[in-house]
Amino acid sequence: MMRAVVLTPSFGRHSDAPDRLAEDLGLTLERRTEGHPKSAADVVAAIGDAPAVIVGLDEISADVLAACPNLRVVAKHGVGVDNIDLGAAAAAGVSVVNTPGANAGAVADLTLGLILMGARRIREAEDSLRAGRWEVFLGTELSGKQLGILGFGRIGRAVADRARAFGMRICAYDPFVPAEVIEQAGARPADLDTVVATSDVLSLHLPGGDGVLLGAAQIDAMPRGAALVNAARGGLVDEHALAAALTTGRLAFAALDAFEVEPPPADHPLLGAPNLIATPHVGAFSDVANATMGTMVVEDVVRVLDGREPAHPVRPAR
């Protein structure tokens, strides 16, 4: 009997398609979603002798892999795998799979929503109206402005497509994407410093795990009155430097769907900074993305347990 332990509560939360597909393919799902994300010890207890696990942000360390000798596949319900020790998984003969592209449209939609919300000062206007005032808030039009995209994978390209419909010029940096690919997608390739220093709006779509990308120096190099949007990983941005830039008015606004620590503490300096738009890491949470991510992991779990190659393997960098 094929079975998989589900650790992430987001699996199939908004669609029954993953459960129906699992039933059709003969995969039994056992939900152990309480206390998510789980520590290594809790992950071991939850997995037991199961051959497959579907995870969100749960810790899959070398110790977890060593303690679960029956495990054959770790399926990430999402894209980022920084919570999974890929080297240890490969050494243990455990396949790791994820869902590339499944949430690209959802995150891109949210990114444009955050940009529009900040540029047109929508939250300020609504708060004013609800407070009984009828005030005029001068906004900024997107047409003709430069959107700098850091990370030009599926999500970055989807953001570019949407922003282009608003008349924005696109400049992009991605150390893993060739310049000609960026050009073919209708964007101007440039190095990190150039994109940061010349963009009216800077949007982050790179994976985390390699430290801070935008520190105090990079934030200070942004044009005065520019905006920063981060719907990727919180650790990419020096949050204290960003709070300072908002407090001094150097940046027009920042919109964050990700924080270094989630949820951020109530006394976090960013939460008290002016012109901050914040959402609780909801970028991937759309009806379509939820159904697609769930069915993709079910299909790949079954492939691995059947002895076949997964469609979306994740391997350690060489």
Q: Which residues are catalytic?
A: 233, 262, 281
Identity of the residue numbered 241:
A
Say how far apart CA 226 and CA 314 lie, in whole Å. 36
In three-state form (DSSP H/G/I as H, E/B as E, the rest C), the secondary structure along the chain is: CEEEEECCCCCCCCCCHHHHHHHHHCEEEEECCCCCCCCHHHHHHHHCCCCEEEECCCCECHHHHHHCCCCCEEEECCCCCCCECHHHHHHHCCEEECCCCCCHHHHHHHHHHHHHHHHCCHHHHHHHHHCCCCCCCCCCCCCCCEEEEECCCHHHHHHHHHHHHCCCEEEEECCCCCHHHHHHCCCEECCHHHHHHHCCEEEECCCCCCCCCECHHHHHHCCCCCEEEECCCHHHECHHHHHHHHHHCCCCEEEECCCCCCCCCCCCHHHHCCCEEECCCCCCCCHHHHHHHHHHHHHHHHHHHCCCCCCCECCCCC
Say how far apart CA 155 and CA 100 lie, in whole Å. 10
Say how far apart CA 15 and CA 176 lie, in whole Å. 33
Instruction: Find out whether 52 and 301 touch, Cβ atoms under 8 Å.
Output: yes
Beta bridge partners of 74: 53, 96
Burial of residue 37, with CB atoms counted within 10 A of its CB: 0-12 exposed, 13-18 middle, 19 or more buried: middle
